[in-house]
Amino acid sequence: MRGLEGRVALVTGAGGGIGQAICARFVEKGIRVVAADIDERSLRSLSQNTGSGERVYPVGLDITDFAAVQKTVADAVSRFGCVDILVNNAGWDIAKPFVETAPDFWDKVIAINLKGPFNLHRAVLPHMLQAGRGKIINIASDAGRVGSHGQAVYSACKGGIISFTKTIARECATRNIVVNAVCPGPTDTPLLHSFAADGEFGKKIFDRLQNAIPLKRLGQPADLPGIIAFLASDDANFITGQTISVSGGLTMHG
């Protein structure tokens, strides 16, 4: 893939399974990575697993805190001179029927999965606009395309991210900034396994998801970085406003 060597990427949720896989692939491609996560212990694991500390700059970050996001972006620009690539990967949810949820739960899901990416866009885009280039990849979810039992608010947020991605792609197209969404299907991460551990309701969802995948396996974190690195590369310069599922065929959109 062309045009990745020497670029600077900011990846949120960098300490999780998918986040670590993204960061590792970026490091392989010669990208310097600002690896942001609220769980600083997971960032220590990331640095050990990538084995390339000189290319990974870990930073503890609560993406729901706009001031903290602004500072992280400003520090990244000060250190590296730019942020060429933004990957909004951080996310959180607990599976439960909507009628068993309450506004405080909705607020937390919305703050992390919807407002968090808003914060990152608002902080990063001015620098990309000034530079006249940029790549943004938003990690949405197939739950945002077709809905997902037990994930009503999360699905609403991810559907919002898909629509937001298309709008920002339109707004920034003339400034050489391309914006796309990647939608993982059920992926073998601690978040998914937390559903199975959360009583009979979550276990039923977990089993139902596995059985519904045409390729008959859960996605693995390693299944995601290829498309993300491609969308961040110069080979994807003419691709913007698109939504791409990586779901083993769980959803097949034309």
Neighbours of 214 (CB within 10 A): 10
Q: Kindly give the interhelix angle for 225-232 and 17-28, rounded to the nearest 10 degrees.
A: 50
154 a catalytic residue: yes
3-state secondary structure of 13: coil
Counted residue by residue, the chain has a size of: 254
Q: How many CA atoms lie within 13 A of 126 on its CB side?
A: 7
- The strands making up 134-139's β-sheet, listed across from edge to edge, are 56-60, 32-37, 8-12, 85-88, 134-139, 177-184, 243-246
Which tokens belong to 187?
């992926």
∠ at Cα 83 (9, 174), nearest 5°?
Answer: 115
Interatomic CA distance for residues 188 and 218, integer angstroms? 6
Catalytic residue, chosen from 57, 154, 195, 206, is 154
Strand partners, 187: 219
Catalytic residues: 154
